[in-house]
Amino acid sequence: MSYSVEGATGPWEVVVGMEVHAQVISKAKLFSGAPTDFGAEPNTQVSFVDAAFPGMLPVIDRECVAQAVRTGLGLNAHINVVSRFDRKNYFYPDLPAGYQISQYQHPIVGEGTIEIELADGSARAIGITRLHLEQDAGKSLHDQHPTKSLIDLNRAGVALMEIVSEPDLRSPEEAGAYLRKLRTILRYLGTCDGNMEEGSMRADVNVSVRKHGDPYRTRCEVKNVNSVRFVMQAIEAEAKRQVDVWESGGTVEQETRLFDPGRGVTRSMRTKEDAHDYRYFPDPDLLPLVLDESWIAELKAELPELPDAKKRRFVGQYGLPAYDAGVLVAEQATADFYETVAAQRDAKQVANWVMGDFFAALNRTGRTVADSPVSAENLGKLLDLISDGTINGRIAKQVFEAMVATGHDPGSIIDAQGLRQVTDTSAIDAAVERVLAANADKVAEYRAGKDKLFGFFVGQVMKAMAGKGNPALVNEVIRRHLGN
Amino acid sequence: MSLDPATVRRIATLARIHVDDAEIPQLQSELNGILGWIEQLNAVNIEGVEPLTGAARMALKMREDVVNDGGAQDKVLANAPERIGAYFVVPKVVE
Amino acid sequence: MMLTDLTLAAARSGLRQRAFTSRELTEAHLAAIEALNPRLNAFITVTGEQALAQADAADAALARGDERPLTGVPIAMKDLFCTEGVRTTAGSRILGPFVPPYESTVSANLLRAGAVFLGKTNMDEFAMGSSNMTSAYGAVENPWKRRQDADAVLVPGGSSGGSAAAVAARLALGATGTDTGGSIRQPASFCGIVGLKPTYGRCSRWGVVAFASSLDHPGPLARSVEDCAVLLGAMAGHDPKDSTSADVPLGDYQGACGRSVKGMRIGVPREYRADGMPEEIEALWRQGVDWLREAGAEVVDVSLPHTKYGLATYYIVAPAEASSNLARYDGVRFGLRTNGKDLCDLYERTRAEGFGAEVRRRVLIGTYVLSAGYYDAYYLRAQKVRALILRDFTEAFARVDALLTPTAPSAAFVQGEKMDDPIKMYLNDLFTVPADLAGVPAISVPAGLDANGLPIGLQVIGKPFDEETVFAVGAAIERAASFDALPTIRAGTAQ
């Protein structure tokens, strides 16, 4: 069932490719020793190199290169042992040198693949064309003054990885899945935090449409979309626009557009004719980047287990359904949390708790696994206390909520609130007798055949016991009293 | 490869250097003279020759990932012809 | 003998022997600058107070036995080197009142070696020129005068015209320059002094205002080969802040000056001649060959067939790199700013006002040759011809240790000449440009005078990183030439 845009002349296929700019996690910038932290006072994280003062020269940061290699390996891509830096020349106030140091003809990483999983359970391999390193630009503020734009160069020179996909995506859903998967991989590798809201990961989306089976038509680029949701909306809006243009007899012009989330449409960016004559040439201040094969091998050996491999292992090792495994590995921290709890325990039960109550609690309290109020150790203890009969499932939920609220371990909460499960038969007996006595009419109805009332009695007894009755025993005792 | 006035203008715009109308003919003539003179390179047989990009023939040295620069806001701004607070300033750009 | 007539090496010895103080030495030079700079215009900025303070500190250092290679020696810096706290112009209006908040590596090395800085010397704008006439701070007068027509004002050559004139007129014991197409060697030849372009990457480019990154070579100018050797030893060295800096150990440059050339093989490339080149230069070249033979060297004919394409190659590659390197001069973070109605206007008017005609020509040529559709035809082709020029040298150096050629196809010409056609000016660099393209070391040594009494230099070109051989052969030429002519305008002479 493939996605298409319905036009007046029939269904149109959407062809999408993505260029993602991912800010590299490193202490210093790609070609200068200035820091990369977010949110500092303006122009306090600027080297004279970043500000393109006269006579300044670039020197490449080893960790930035390593991060690009790690990312390439994580994308199952070919690492180019020799790559080169080129200058991309254009004038803009946030580009102090009047050129960006990038890689044009010889990028550090070549072809690779990303596996994406869709809601219907199907999987697709999306091709990666290349990954290259380049400098980020500074920031221009256009809304601080009526007639002037203000320039902050803190971000100028921060390392970016530009990751280009093949035009293999065919729907907004696939594009969303691709972005999420890419973000997961980058976060696993620790090479980018994937935070689209903060701008450490930005997507430029190339969209074109065609009738199924036809050759490609002109594409437009929708730039700087800063959330997965907006990417999906932008694709839909742009595809519709292009279909309208084609169907009304017009021609789609190749251009750069911006997505307006408020109106749900894309609009053309103001561009001058020559905006795209970048006059690329090899940067004469730099030499070819030549990587040591043994260094690449070292980086490869140090890579963490990546999401696809981890998911396969979870399915095999823990017997989880693929969907659950997928959810658990989406964040490495979550996967680690799960495995800590699941060790020596019922893997499926743990999965249910993590994906159920635990995720719900995190959502509700606005926390993440990293700053979770409930530690893996404590969740594990809670599950042990259910297994060994100290508490029943219902009380466990109550204890869990208290753990979320206080951060305390389950044992102390149970003791403090006296929540131990009651297994003492005489206490249960007494409660059952009281309940049955108080509900003689319903007892008669039950005996007359209204079986459903059994649940009512169970509920009442549990209520009378403040939930602490061992459910199995309660059932047994009630049956005995009712004479079944 | 001969430049016409429109091309001279286009290059001047690419290079962000204003050229008065009156200057175009002279400039056109000088640039065409130089480009014509450069054409002599077409006589060279370059088949199979790899371009030399820089006289240095070494591989790029990499720097350790430590912060050892920046934090000099005053110095970075000291020569600015115009500034507002800690920002550089340009005429407003509309995107 | 006046203090300003000493060689740098002799002055250094004198200081160490306490024959005089650095203060005296520096004062003598500052006085000479005061007397002659208004005419010669060799200096854009004179740092008198700073120099005297440095001289005093040097004297104190010498007193406590702290002798570094250049302690107390007054030298001049081409105004292309960023000097912390001292205005740096690159010979252009566009840098405006720019005061660098950093010191270039080369000048920092010289300061660390104890040198005293007299000031920043005049130069062609952004190092683009061979006459110093494109400077926004006025032309420089060559201290040499013609025998006939002694009133004619001659050019010192360029782009390091101010440095060459200052050294020749004895306003400084030595100076730094940069050589991209010949900008150290050609002015050295025009001014009767020694100028060395080291191997590419030998001296760091960090803090040197960039013209053409793959061709810029910082290097020394002085009045003797040995002086240049001393300066190079202090200037050179690997710099981790410059990715193109060579991580190669330095040689014993001063020692090399005394080395015999006996047994060395010297190549004479037949292509180093030009149409209309004065016979005197050919004659001096042949004389140079004889001198080296007499000193025991073997002379070999060699061919560097792509020599004649050097200029065209250079005038594609250099402007291309320059067009990109000069994009940062936009009125935003430093320098001249001419406000306009919008951003584009700001850029266009600032750069139109700030750049001179030659710079504008080269930036436009460079922009054009890199532009869409022309990259392959021009830049890529030029870089391939460049590879062939290097190959010519490599093949020649398999057979010889060094090459001997003339430095320039003429002696100093009159100010204002060759300005009607840019190409006429470019032809000055015919013999110097190939060594820049190949990155090989080359020195110009004054070898004789022409019929007009103007100095003519001979050039020695060596293998990559073999400055020692270049110094050895250069010193041999210097000894044989016994060049003792003096420029008319110099410290101590009445004007």
> Which pLDDT belongs to residue C337?
97
Kindly list the distances between the CA atom of residue C270 and the CA atoms of C159, C282, C355, C410, C419, in Å, as whole numbers in the listed order: 27, 11, 39, 18, 29
Q: What's the start-to-end Cα distance of chain A, in Å?
A: 54
Extents of the domains making up chain A: 12-297, 304-417, 425-482
In C, which residues are within 8 Å of B38 by CB distance? 312, 315-316, 378
The fold of the C3-259 domain, in CATH, is Amidase signature (AS) enzymes (3.90.1300)
In A, which residues are within 8 Å of C100 by CB distance? 53-55
Cross-chain Cβ contact B73/A44 below 8 Å = yes
Nearest CA in chain B to C330: B16
Q: What is the DSSP string of A111-149?
A: -EEEEEE-TTS-EEEEEEEEEEEEEPP-EEESSSSSSEE
pLDDT in tens, chain B (95 residues): 589 999 999 999 999 999 999 999 999 999 999 999 999 999 999 999 999 865 556 789 999 999 999 999 999 999 999 999 999 999 998 76
Residue A280 distance to chain B (closest CA, Å): 13
Nearest CA in chain B to A269: B95
> Which pLDDT belongs to residue C463?
98
In the chain, the amino acid numbered C6 is: L
CA A387 to chain centre: 33
Q: How confident is the model at residue A1 (pLDDT cuts 50, 70, 90)?
A: low
- C62 token code pair: 């010498």
Q: Which residues have CB under 8 Å from C69's CB, separation 6+?
A: C113, C114, C230, C233, C234
Cross-chain Cβ contact B34/C423 below 8 Å = yes
SS3 C195: strand
DSSP category for residue A87: E
Q: Does C85 touch chain B (CB under 8 A)?
A: no
Neighbours of chain B (3+ CB pairs under 8 A): A, C
SS3 A479: helix
**Which of A222, A128, A175, A130 lies closest to A16 in space, CA to CA?**
A175
Cross-chain Cβ contact C334/A53 below 8 Å = yes
DSSP category for residue C247: -
In B, which residues are within 8 Å of C336 by CB distance? 81
Nearest by CB to residue C342, choosing from B3, B60, B91, is B91
Nearest by CB to residue A91, choosing from C210, C244, C327, is C327
**Alpha-carbon gap, residue A345 to A348, rounded angstroms:** 9
Residue C466 distance to chain B (closest CA, Å): 14
Looking at the DSSP assignment, which residues form a beta bridge with residue C121? C43, C78
Residue A40 distance to chain C (closest CA, Å): 20
Nearest CA in chain C to A89: C324
pLDDT tens-digit series, residues A113-164: 999 999 888 999 999 999 999 999 999 999 999 999 999 999 999 999 999 9
Q: Which residues have CB under 8 Å from C394's CB, separation 6+?
A: none
Cross-chain Cβ contact A28/B69 below 8 Å = yes
**Alpha-carbon gap, residue A202 to A197, rounded angstroms:** 9
Nearest by CB to residue B86, choosing from A43, A63, A93, is A43
Do C107 and C96 meet the contact criterion of CB atoms below 8 Å apart?
Answer: no
SS3 C139: coil
In B, which residues are within 8 Å of A51 by CB distance? 76
Q: Does A108 touch chain B (CB under 8 A)?
A: no
Q: What is the ipTM score, two decimals? A: 0.96
Edge to edge, the sheet with strand A99-102 lists A99-102, A86-89, A281-282
HSE-CB for A99 with a 13 A CA cutoff: 28
> Which pLDDT belongs to residue C493?
85
Q: Does A44 touch chain B (CB under 8 A)?
A: yes
Extents of the domains making up chain B: 5-42
Segments of chain C scoring below 70 in pLDDT: 494-495
> Which pLDDT belongs to residue C372?
87
**Alpha-carbon gap, residue C358 to C350, rounded angstroms:** 16
Nearest by CB to residue A27, choosing from B58, B60, B67, is B67
**Which of C321, C448, C453, C305 lies closest to C382 in space, CA to CA?**
C321
Average pLDDT over chain A, rounded to an integer? 93
- Of C159, C224, C410, C444, the catalytic one is C159
Cross-chain Cβ contact C334/B79 below 8 Å = yes
- C97 token code pair: 């009142």
pLDDT tens-digit series, residues A318-360: 999 998 999 999 999 999 999 999 999 999 999 999 999 999 9
**Percent of chain A at pLDDT above 90?**
80
> Which pLDDT belongs to residue A414?
87
> Which pLDDT belongs to residue A273?
46
Edge to edge, the sheet with strand A148-152 lists A139-141, A148-152, B87-91, B83-84
Nearest by CB to residue B33, choosing from C335, C367, C421, is C421
Chain A, window 227-256: residues with a beta carbon less than 8 angstroms from a chain B beta carbon: none
Residue B9 distance to chain A (closest CA, Å): 12
Task: Reply yes or no: is the peptide bond before residue C159 cis, omega within 30 of 0.
Answer: yes
The size of the A-C interface in CB pairs under 8 A is: 96
- Of C107, C160, C183, C189, the catalytic one is C183
**Alpha-carbon gap, residue A306 to A188, rounded angstroms:** 7
**Which of A185, A150, A146 lies closest to A165 in space, CA to CA?**
A185
pLDDT tens-digit series, residues C440-491: 999 999 999 999 999 999 999 999 999 999 999 999 999 999 999 999 999 9
The size of the B-C interface in CB pairs under 8 A is: 166
Q: For A226-377, where are the E strands, in sequence order?
A: 256-260, 265-268, 281-282, 289-290
In the chain, the amino acid numbered A478 is: I
Do A105 and A278 meet the contact criterion of CB atoms below 8 Å apart?
Answer: no
Instruction: Find the angle CA(C421)-CA(B29)-CA(B46) to the nearest 5 degrees.
Output: 85
Looking at the DSSP assignment, which residues form a beta bridge with residue A290? A82
| Pairing of the two strands C74-78 and C116-121 | parallel
HSE-CB for C127 with a 13 A CA cutoff: 29
Residue B13 distance to chain C (closest CA, Å): 8
Cross-chain Cβ contact A281/C370 below 8 Å = yes
**Alpha-carbon gap, residue C489 to C484, rounded angstroms:** 15
Do A31 and A101 meet the contact criterion of CB atoms below 8 Å apart?
Answer: yes
pLDDT tens-digit series, residues C175-191: 999 999 999 999 999 99
In the chain, the amino acid numbered A394 is: R
In terms of Cβ atoms closer than 10 Å to its own Cβ (0-12, 13-18, 19+), residue A149 is buried
Q: Does B24 touch chain C (CB under 8 A)?
A: no
pLDDT tens-digit series, residues C198-231: 999 999 999 999 999 999 999 999 999 999 999 9
Q: Kindly tell me if the per-residue pLDDT of A271 is higher than 90.
A: no
CA atoms A230, A233, A236, A241: torsion sign? negative
Q: For chain B, where are the E strands, in sequence order?
A: 62-63, 83-84, 87-91
**Alpha-carbon gap, residue C425 to C431, rounded angstroms:** 13
| Pairing of the two strands C442-449 and C455-462 | antiparallel
pLDDT tens-digit series, residues A196-217: 998 999 999 999 999 999 999 9
Question: Could you confirm whether C78 is annotated as catalytic?
Answer: yes
Residue B9 distance to chain C (closest CA, Å): 10
Chain B, window 38-57: residues with a beta carbon less than 8 angstroms from a chain C beta carbon: 38, 40-42, 44, 46, 49-56
- Of C22, C78, C323, C444, the catalytic one is C78
Cross-chain Cβ contact C347/A91 below 8 Å = yes
Q: Which ranges of C336-454 would DSSP assign to H, the alpha helix?
A: 343-354, 357-370, 381-397, 422-426, 433-438
Do C488 and C143 meet the contact criterion of CB atoms below 8 Å apart?
Answer: yes
Question: Could you confirm whether C213 is annotated as catalytic?
Answer: no
In A, which residues are within 8 Å of B88 by CB distance? 43, 93, 150-151, 153
Q: Does B81 touch chain C (CB under 8 A)?
A: yes
Looking at the DSSP assignment, which residues form a beta bridge with residue C175? C76, C221
Residue C421 distance to chain B (closest CA, Å): 8
Question: Could you confirm whether C163 is annotated as catalytic?
Answer: no
**Alpha-carbon gap, residue B80 to C331, rounded angstroms:** 8
DSSP category for residue A270: P
Phi, psi torsion values for A27, nearest 5 degrees: -80, -40
Cross-chain Cβ contact C387/B52 below 8 Å = yes
Looking at the DSSP assignment, which residues form a beta bridge with residue A165? A128
Neighbours of chain C (3+ CB pairs under 8 A): A, B
Q: Does C246 touch chain B (CB under 8 A)?
A: yes
Kindly list the distances between the CA atom of residue A261 and the CA atoms of A234, A245, A267, A390, in Å, as whole numbers in the listed order: 8, 21, 11, 53
Residue C454 distance to chain A (closest CA, Å): 35
Cross-chain Cβ contact B68/A28 below 8 Å = yes
Q: Does C378 touch chain B (CB under 8 A)?
A: yes
pLDDT (average), residues A37-53: 96
Residue corresponding to tokens 């920092």? C108
Cβ-count burial A237-258 (b if 16+ within 10 Å, e if not): bbbbbbbeebeeeeebeeebbb
Cross-chain Cβ contact A152/B87 below 8 Å = yes
Q: What's the start-to-end Cα distance of chain C, in Å?
A: 19
Nearest by CB to residue A287, choosing from B58, B63, B72, is B58
Q: Does A118 touch chain B (CB under 8 A)?
A: no
pTM: 0.93
The fold of the A425-482 domain, in CATH, is Arc Repressor Mutant, subunit A (1.10.10)
Instruction: Find the angle CA(C273)-CA(C278)-CA(C281) to the nearest 5 degrees.
Output: 70
Cross-chain Cβ contact A153/B63 below 8 Å = no
Residue C330 distance to chain B (closest CA, Å): 9
Residue corresponding to tokens 């994009």? C327
Nearest CA in chain B to A286: B60
Kindly list the distances between the CA atom of residue B65 and the CA atoms of A35, A66, A219, B68, C349, in Å, as whole numbers in the listed order: 10, 10, 39, 9, 40
Cβ-count burial C288-305 (b if 16+ within 10 Å, e if not): bbebbeebebebeebebe
Kindly list the distances between the CA atom of residue C474 and the CA atoms of A282, C188, C251, C470, in Å, as whole numbers in the listed order: 36, 13, 16, 6
In terms of Cβ atoms closer than 10 Å to its own Cβ (0-12, 13-18, 19+), residue C408 is buried
Long-range contacts of A195-201 (CB under 8 A, 24+ apart): A196/A226, A196/A227, A196/A228, A197/A226, A197/A227, A198/A38, A199/A23, A199/A226, A200/A22, A200/A23, A200/A38, A201/A20, A201/A21, A201/A22, A201/A23
pLDDT (average), residues A306-314: 96
